[in-house]
């Protein structure tokens, strides 16, 4: 740990801190590669820390489900050419999941799930592997009679997921076309 600090790294960048909920004690675990490069071990620890912080400190205490949208290889070229596109696609992903959960929860108009999204652009071998991780509450929060209420949703079925994928596929391509990308790519069967 001291070597990492001397090398110019802040301790929070060189190690993960784990805290016991029962006793309040904590322990620092140094990243195994001893540096902040592309390291699957370090990335996994960092992801655990960031998602743990979000779920414990930022998001309400309700059940959550992880959703992952992976951009197919055939479409990664467009992200490489126009990096703004991944933000637009992540926005489409968030809106589509919100619409899906709102409909399934039968929550009032304007209700929305609690959510946390992270865009990851690279795989473990530093290859272009664009995907979006999202933690969404298993339901929506909405007001009923001036009181904030949680409207849970049942576990999605295979039919639900198939329909959701089809909606997402259409929305992603529509957004790509609106942004002027994807004109040379005519098929929409590549998102699955």
pLDDT digits 0-9 by tens, 33-68: 544 445 555 555 666 666 666 667 777 889 999 999
pLDDT at 101: 95
pLDDT at 7: 47
- φ, ψ (nearest 5 deg) of residue 65: -130, 140
Q: Give the span between the Cα atoms of 41 and 49, in whole angstroms.
A: 13
pLDDT at 80: 79
pLDDT at 27: 73
The β-bridge relationship of strands 115-122 and 64-70 is: unpaired
- Residues 151 and 107 sit within 8 Å (Cβ to Cβ): yes
- Enter the pTM of the model: 0.68
Residues in the chain where the model's pLDDT stays below 70: 1-16, 28-55, 123-127, 182-192
The proportion of the chain whose per-residue pLDDT surpasses 70, expressed as a percent, equals: 67
Task: Tell me how far CA of residue 165 lies from CA of 19, 68, 169, 180, 185, in angstroms.
Answer: 38, 12, 6, 23, 19
pLDDT at 19: 77
């Amino acid at each position: 740990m001291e070597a990492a600090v001397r090398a110019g790294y802040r301790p929070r960048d060189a190690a993960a801190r784990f805290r016991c909920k029962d006793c309040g004690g904590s322990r620092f675990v140094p990243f195994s590669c001893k540096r902040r490069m592309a390291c699957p071990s370090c990335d996994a620890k960092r992801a655990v820390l960031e998602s743990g912080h979000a779920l414990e400190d930022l998001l309400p205490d309700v059940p959550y489900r992880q959703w992952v949208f992976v951009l197919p290889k055939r479409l990664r070229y467009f992200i490489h050419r126009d990096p703004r596109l991944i933000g637009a696609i992540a926005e489409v992903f968030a809106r589509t999941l919100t619409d899906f959960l709102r409909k399934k929860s039968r929550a009032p108009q304007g209700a929305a799930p609690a959510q946390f999204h992270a865009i990851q652009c690279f795989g473990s071998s530093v290859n272009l592997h664009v995907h979006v991780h999202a933690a969404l509450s298993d339901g929506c929060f909405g007001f009923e009679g001036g009181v904030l209420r949680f409207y849970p949703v049942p576990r999605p079925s295979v039919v639900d997921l198939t329909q959701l994928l089809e909606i997402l596929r259409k929305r992603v391509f529509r957004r790509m076309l609106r942004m002027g990308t994807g004109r040379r790519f005519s098929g929409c069967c590549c998102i699955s």
